Amino acid sequence: MAAAIELQKAIFSALQSDEELIAALGGTKIYDHTKSDVAFPYITFGRTSVYDWSTGTEIGTEHLFTIHVWSKAKGKKETLDIMQRLEAILHDQPLAMTGYRLVNLRQEFGETRFDEDQSVYHGLLRYRALVEAD
């Protein structure tokens, strides 16, 4: 699980250091878990699954993870703009990790929907990362 922790740290660092994303969120509102009083919009890390991806010569793991975008704007434009920025920051980008090497990082799926129960737009991005031990 150490690779998953290092990957999340690298992702968090990349997101936190992107001025355009921080401006779109109105601050550094990137969370693993939020309290109920967080101002919209914001981003949360979602489900993570880790699988062995080792070969005969390399030790590696495959990571499937989700990032959620939450917005109370009228219409889904704000959600889609934030999702587009996330893709620019993460998709096929080389993220620095301690003790591991990111082989690749790709967005595999994106979805935006209105959650009527919470009256929010919810964007979901699913990524696949391959990581090798240094």
Task: Tell me phi and psi for residue 115, to 5 degrees.
Answer: -95, 105
- Whether omega for the bond prior to residue 94 falls within 30 degrees of 0, making it cis, is no
The strand pairing partners of 64, in sequence order, are: 49, 128
What is the CB neighbour count within 10 angstroms for residue 89? 16
Which tens digits make up the pLDDT trace of 33-88? 888 889 999 999 999 999 998 888 888 999 999 999 999 999 999 999 999 999 99
The β-bridge partners of 87 are none
Distance of CA 40 to the CA centre of its chain: 17
Instruction: Give the pLDDT of residue 57.
Output: 87
For the chain, the structural domain boundaries read 43-73+84-108+123-134
> Percent of the chain, pLDDT > 70?
100
